[in-house]
């Protein structure tokens, strides 16, 4: 039973890692080539800034969520 749980955990970890890498590449591509990069959509950095502003308006609850995401991210990628 723990074998399939280990396999699922590895797949989710790799999926999370690929997602973070795609986000980083899309931000770098937007900074280098401008806001309308064909493959990554439009204005990735604007969407990230809007997300951070929305989290900033929420106060303590958003801070707890951010820490939970960071904790989960660090735990899965070890």
pLDDT tens column, 13-65: 888 888 888 888 888 888 888 777 767 666 777 877 887 788 777 777 777 77
- The per-residue pLDDT for 64 is 76
Domain that holds residue 33: 2-76
Residue 71 has pLDDT above 80, yes or no: no
**Residue labelled with tokens 């280098």:** 32
Of 52, 53, 45, nearest to 26 by C-alpha is 45
Looking at the 3D structure of the chain, how many domains does it have?
Answer: 1
Q: What is the pLDDT of residue 14?
A: 85
What's the pLDDT score for residue 23?
80
**What is the residue whose two structure tokens read 């931000």?**
27
End-to-end CA distance of the chain: 22
Q: What is the DSSP letter of 1?
A: -
| CA 19 to chain centroid | 6
Looking at residue 78, its pLDDT comes to 59
């Amino acid at each position: 039973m723990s074998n399939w749980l280990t396999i699922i955990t590895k797949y989710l970890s790799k999926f999370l890692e690929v997602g973070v890498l795609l986000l980083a590449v899309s931000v770098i591509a937007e900074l280098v080539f401008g806001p309308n990069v064909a493959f990554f959509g439009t204005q990735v950095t604007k969407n990230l800034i809007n997300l951070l502003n929305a989290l900033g308006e929420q106060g303590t609850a958003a801070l707890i969520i951010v820490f939970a995401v960071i904790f989960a991210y660090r735990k899965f990628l070890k």
